[in-house]
Amino acid sequence: MPEARGLPTFAPRGTPAEVEHGLAFQPRFDADGLIPAIVTDLASGEVLMFAWMNAEAVALTVETRIAHFWSRSRRKLWKKGEESGNLMHVAEARTDCDQDVLWLRVSVGGDGVACHTGARSCFYRALPLGQPPTAETVMIEK
């Protein structure tokens, strides 16, 4: 019997050696059914954003090559850029040694903005290094 759309199945988790060295995709989702996803710009390598995916978002992203996430605040599937036109076109999707993180290399469509603030990347502030951060720390605009 075909499975209902939206309930993708992946290979079950194997031994640590299988997870680390095998080529079977055996992702681990956390207690909330989510896996973290790092998104970088294909051209510049810059980290654009960080978000979470449920199994359906992973499956849709891999199949359609358009990044989908799970919005924890709205508690719904989130096709990033659906309203703004800044869809994220996925050139590569990797997983890590433990298969509990994904890394997407993307080209952002539309005007190339990834952050809801209007910035290209969500990571537009840096911490001053070499001193312990305190309640008075002032960050540096990038």
Distance CA 32, CA 8 (A): 16
Distance CA 87, CA 66 (A): 7
Closest to its own copies by CB, 91 or 110: 91
Q: Which of 1, 4, 23, 74 binds its own copies (CB under 8 A)?
A: 23
Q: Give the contacts of 25 (CB within 8 A, at least 6 positions apart).
A: 10, 11, 95, 99
Mask of contacts with its own copies, 34-73, x by CB under 8 A? --x-x-x---xxxx-xx-------xx--xx-x--------
Sign of CA dihedral 124, 130, 134, 137: negative
Does position 32 bind its own copies by CB under 8 A? no
Sign of CA dihedral 68, 126, 116, 107: negative
Beta bridge partners, 127, equal none
Longest CA pairwise span in the chain (Å): 61
CB of 82 to its own copies, least distance (A): 19
Q: Which of 13, 29, 93, 109 binds its own copies (CB under 8 A)?
A: 93
Beta bridge partners, 49, equal 39
Closest to its own copies by CB, 72 or 85: 72
Does position 74 bind its own copies by CB under 8 A? no
Does position 21 bind its own copies by CB under 8 A? yes
The β-bridge relationship of strands 68-71 and 47-53 is: unpaired
The footprint of its own copies on residues 112-141 (CB under 8 A) is: 115-117, 119, 122-141
Footprint of its own copies (CB under 8 A):
8-12, 20-21, 23-25, 36, 38, 40, 44-47, 49-50, 58-59, 62-63, 65, 90, 92-98, 101, 103, 115-117, 119, 122-142
